[in-house]
Amino acid sequence: MNKRQSIINLVLITIILIFINILGNYFFGRIDLSQEKKFTLTSATKKLLANQKDIVYVKVLLEGEFPAGFKRLQKSTKEMLDDFRNNCPYIEYMFEDPNSGTTNDINARRKEMAKDGIVPVNLRVKDNNETTEKMIYPYAVFNFADRKVVVNLLENEIPGVSPDVVLNNSIGLLEYKFANAIEKLKSTKRANILFTEGQGELLPIQTQDLEKTLSQFYETGRLNLDSIVQIKKEVDILVIAKPTQPFDDKKKFKIDQYIMNGGKVIWLIDRMNAELDSMQNKLGDLVPYDYPLNIEDMLFKYGVRIQPNLVLDMECAKIPLRVGTMGNASQFDLFPWYYYPLVSPYSSHPVVKNLDRIFLQFPSSIDTIRTKSDVKKTVLLASSKYSRAQFTPATINFEILRYDADKTKFNKPYQPLAVLLEGNFASSFENRVSSEMQNSLASIGLPYKEFSSETKMIVVADGDIARNLVGKDGVPKPLGLSRFENRVYSSNKDFLLNSIEYMLDNNGIIDARTREVKLRMLDVVKAKNEETKWQLINIVTPLILLALFAFYYLWRRKKKYA
């Protein structure tokens, strides 16, 4: 009887376990015990998913056998999509191997993916003392109705940063990237982002790379301040990119009242007229001077002042300098050009979180000013601890490259180079508009406002951050290209895109960018020294426990049936 009952119990337990496993395939859930709550979606993401009422189909191009690092990215991507689907049943996904099929199929597929900007990562894989190369596509394609958004799952490699940290950053940004993609797919209204013209700003061909990327999700265009009476509220963001000519009071008034009515502005300003090409044309000597922009009073009123100086940084890009001749040919070598700083994010703000270094050219420092109204000021970018400021008038030449840098002279660290301003701004025309002018403006439906509603603006003390070079053939180069190093600093574009998304984000989705997944690294030295001890513990301890359990079982059985 006892034997029969034991068999029945065993069968029942087996059936229950099978049933639980079947349910587990259809329902996803877990308890987040991590310190940083890395497995818990933010409230903004949950709200976005709760309002999703139609199917979003996700195709992930990460199927196949990968090294350990990419397996971790593959697993984390699946877990994140499961989290999304657990909060919204309309999320469907599939993993696909883009390298499967015949050679013709693979080539045709790669050609089609390249049209969407999906380019492979060439990965070297070591197996049995053999090294092979494999093309991996770390991308996810989100589809909704007739629209799609391509998401790059892998962050760019950062010089001096281990691949494990880069991979960790990539995993930490998955929630933001997925939520941002869904939000873009759902949006039926495309925001208007306009670049000003008429004051010597960057030409359309010089911002073509940035505008091409923006045009996938936003409406972009040019706005001549002379041709309008006011900047309408339909303009979501106004970009003032490297003006070189003065703004008269009429133009300043239009920008000011646009801000007072809740408008958002990105100021990309060169305070000093300093260009490397000008130095080469003048055989190396240049005395930079102020651009007569006539906007210093506006920025001062809003809470910042761009200093009439140039920031030099020992962490910088390089330019060539002739070091000799060989026959009739000149010999060149690359030297650090301190006026081209490579700046890192100064804070953990969502705009700059996990960004690589950003390439600036002849930037100036920014001071923050106490304002009459409540304005929050956040420094986004700053120079390194080995930096200094050079005030004008001072001659710039290439002689600085011929000598080793004296670190003691680079004693002005962390000079602010980009600042975010948020809050209610006071008009720069406060106490300057007469009552008659106010009545006149009100009569044509343009009432003057002295204080703004809640809004944002970003001030960057370098207009070239948005400029792409143009080749001799007239073809624009990638934004962030250092032509002498032949390297693209892609974070220039990422910074501008993040700035725009943050200023347009009213739902808090971008807060997911601040999620930090801590990488708890193994102490390799300690592990090596204690290798034998832990091997013994892992092998001997289970055997001891098993022996103790067997002894207890036999003792209990003998006592029960004696």
Give just the sign of the alpha carbon dihedral 354, 360, 366, 371.
negative
Same domain, 479 and 546: no
Residue 34 and residue 78 in contact, taking contact as beta carbons nearer than 8 Å: no
What is the phi-psi region of residue 284: left when phi exceeds 0, alpha when psi lies from -120 to 50, beta otherwise? left
356 and 475: one domain? yes
In a domain, 516, yes or no: no
How many Cβ atoms from other residues are within 10 Å of residue 540's Cβ? 10
pLDDT in tens, 330-376: 677 888 899 999 998 888 888 998 788 999 999 999 999 998 888 99
Range of the domain at 538: 524-561
Q: Which of 185, 213, 229 is the last residue of a domain?
A: 185
Given 123, 158, 185, the domain boundary residue is: 185
- List the chain residues with pLDDT less than 50: 33, 519-521
Query: In the numeric block, which tokens belong to residue 57?
Result: 């189909």
For residues 75 and 54, membership in a common domain is answered with yes
pLDDT of residue 109: 86
Would 96 be classed as within a structural domain? yes
**Is 131 found in the same domain as 261?**
no
Phi, psi dihedral angles at 412 (to 5 degrees) = -120, 80
Model pLDDT, residue 519: 46
Residue 212, SS3 per DSSP? helix
**Which 3-state string (H, E, C) describes 389-455?**
EEECCCCECHHHHHCCCCHHHCCCCCCEEEEEEEECCECCCCCCCCHHHHHHHHHCCCCCCCECCCE
Query: Is the separation of the CB atoms in 224 and 198 below 8 Å?
Result: yes
Q: How far apart are CA 445 and CA 269, in angstroms?
A: 32
403 with 419, same domain: the answer is yes
The one-character DSSP state at 315 is S
Sequence letter at residue 406: D
Determine the distance from the C-alpha atom of residue 379 to the mean position of all C-alpha atoms in its chain, rounded to a whole number: 16
Q: What is the CATH number of the domain that holds 153?
A: 3.40.30
Q: What is the sign of the dihedral through the CA atoms of 251, 252, 254 and 255?
A: positive
Whether 362 is in a domain gets the answer: yes
Instruction: Decide: helix, strand or coil at residue 48.
Output: helix
Cis peptide before 393 (omega within 30 of 0): yes
Do 282 and 248 fall into the same domain?
A: yes
Considering the domain architecture, whether residues 261 and 118 belong to the same structural domain is answered as no
pLDDT of residue 559: 75
- Is residue 455 domain-resident? yes
Look at the chain and report how many structural domains it folds into: 3
d(CA 183, CA 189): 11
Find out whether 290 and 308 touch, Cβ atoms under 8 Å.
yes
Confirm whether 29 is domain-assigned: no
Predicted local confidence at residue 383, as pLDDT: 94
* Same-domain pairing of 356 and 434: yes
pLDDT value of position 101: 83
Please check whether residues 480 and 538 belong to one and the same domain: no
Short-list 182, 156, 180, CA closest to 169: 156
- Domain for residue 504, yes or no? no
Beta pairing partners, 487 = 482
Q: Is residue 54 part of a domain?
A: yes
Query: Which pLDDT score is estimated for 252?
Result: 94
Are 503 and 421 within 8 A, CB to CB? Answer: no
Q: Are residues 176 and 215 in the same domain?
A: no
**What is the reported pLDDT for 520?**
47
Both 249 and 398 in a single domain?
A: yes
Which of these, 319, 465, 475, lies nearest to 401 by C-alpha position? 319
Clarify whether residues 101 and 233 are in a common domain. no
What DSSP element (H or E) covers 80?
Answer: helix 68-87
Cα 368 to Cα 376: distance, rounded to the nearest angstrom = 10
Query: Quick check: is 513 in a domain?
Result: no
Within a 10 A sphere around the Cβ of 305, how many other Cβ atoms? Answer: 18
Does residue 361 contact residue 332 with C-beta atoms inside 8 Å? no
Strands 487-488, 481-482: parallel, antiparallel or unpaired by DSSP?
antiparallel
- State which of 489, 506, 541 marks the end of a domain: 489
